[in-house]
Amino acid sequence: MEEKTVKKRILTGDRASGNLHLGHYVGSIVNRLKLQEMYDCYYMVADLHALTTHYESPEEVRESAKSIFVDYLSVGLDPYKSTLFIQSCVPEHSELYLLFQMLVTISRAERIPTLKDKLEDLHIEEGLASLGLLGYPVLQAADILLYRADLVPVGEDQVSHIELTREIARRFNYLYGQTFPEPEAMLSEVSRLPGINGNKKMSKSLGNDISLSASKEEVREKVKAMVTDPEKIRKDDPGHPDVCTVFAFHKAFNKENAPYIETACKNGRLGCVADKEDLAAILNELLDPIRERRAQILGNPKNLRELLDMGNQKARSVASRTMEEVREKMRIGNPRFG
């Protein structure tokens, strides 16, 4: 049977700001590995989105885009099963973004809650956001609808962007005729990893991450630096695993042994130093095959280029067909005299 034609399509992406870390691993990568077996998946490095905030350091954005693409391959996203590509290599994203801007009012864009958060994080005064930053979710809508994706795996914080995407699809369909499906957000069970400093979110910009490309030694150092229960000073003091960052990592990466560790820590039978050594070993075991694949991939730049070209081309062929239809419906492009 033609199984391929009934597979639903998925699109999701990562801003090209920094490389991927363990937080991405538990929060999205594990899920994407599963999804690629069941769906027609498009995984995109969003370098244009990164430029909305990092336009003063384009070189950083490019380096980050490269390293995220290598991360995709290293963790086992399969370029023959999924379409792996870089957003700016498919210029149709920018074109559809421009056209979608006609369909969104300024006040609607200003009401998207992530904008306020971004302004706060970046210490930008209200009214001084660039148009690019204001348009961020509209660009995201273009990313999604360009491929007529059915499902968009994202975190809770992105739901407002998917809602806007649905509105844009509806409005476009109403004005110019049925063209886009209304995609749905696909929320995975919340598995958020704290940063090594105990902050509730691991993030490169907060400097509390362990990157997927970290060396063994780096992993050991970072685990050593993790914040534990401040009341557990000596090895045999009874600990409180619920406030301990190391324990949060055990729950994410060492599920089977977590109940044992919890009891041993509470009873004062497990000290923080030994506990951290165990965790570092577990993380290194997880990262070892990823490191091996990364070394292989980086050892063959010609192949790497070919894989990227392949993904970009596949994405572009879908995107260009959508754009032909969009241009026709919006009556732009070659008017074909006679």
Question: Which are the catalytic amino acids?
Answer: 118, 201, 204
Which residue stretch of 8-16, 167-175, 243-251, 272-280 sits at the interface with ligand TRP (rule: CB under 6 A)?
8-16
Would you say 79 or 153 has its CB closer to ligand TRP? 153
Does the protein bind ligand TRP through residue 11 (CB under 6 A)? yes
Report whether 31 contacts 188 (CB < 8 A). yes
Tokens 């534990």 map to which residue? 228
Does the protein bind ligand TRP through residue 272 (CB under 6 A)? no
Q: Which of 12, 53, 67, 82 binds ligand TRP (CB under 6 A)?
A: 12
Alpha-helical regions (H) of the chain:
3-6, 22-24, 30-38, 47-54, 58-75, 92-100, 106-110, 113-122, 131-134, 136-146, 159-176, 216-224, 245-253, 258-266, 272-298, 301-329
Would you say 136 or 247 has its CB closer to ligand TRP? 136
- Residue closest to 48 by CA, chosen among 90, 101, 99: 90
**Interface mask (CB under 6 A) for ligand TRP, residues 223-252, using x and -?**
------------------------------
Between the alpha carbon of residue 125 and those of residues 107, 129, 130, the distances in Å are 17, 7, 11
- Residue closest to 21 by CA, chosen among 86, 71, 79: 71
Report whether 315 contacts 44 (CB < 8 A). yes
Would you say 50 or 219 has its CB closer to ligand TRP? 50
Q: Which of 154, 219, 226, 323 binds ligand TRP (CB under 6 A)?
A: 154
Residues 47-76 binding ligand TRP (CB under 6 A) are: 49
Q: Which of 144, 145, 202, 261 binds ligand TRP (CB under 6 A)?
A: 144
Least distance in angstroms from the C-beta of 82 to ligand TRP:
14
Does the protein bind ligand TRP through residue 18 (CB under 6 A)? no
b/e map of 71-87 (b: 16 or more CB within 10 Å)?
A: bbbbbebebeebbbbbb
- Given the rule CB under 6 A, which residues bind ligand TRP? 11-15, 46, 49, 140, 143-144, 152, 154, 158
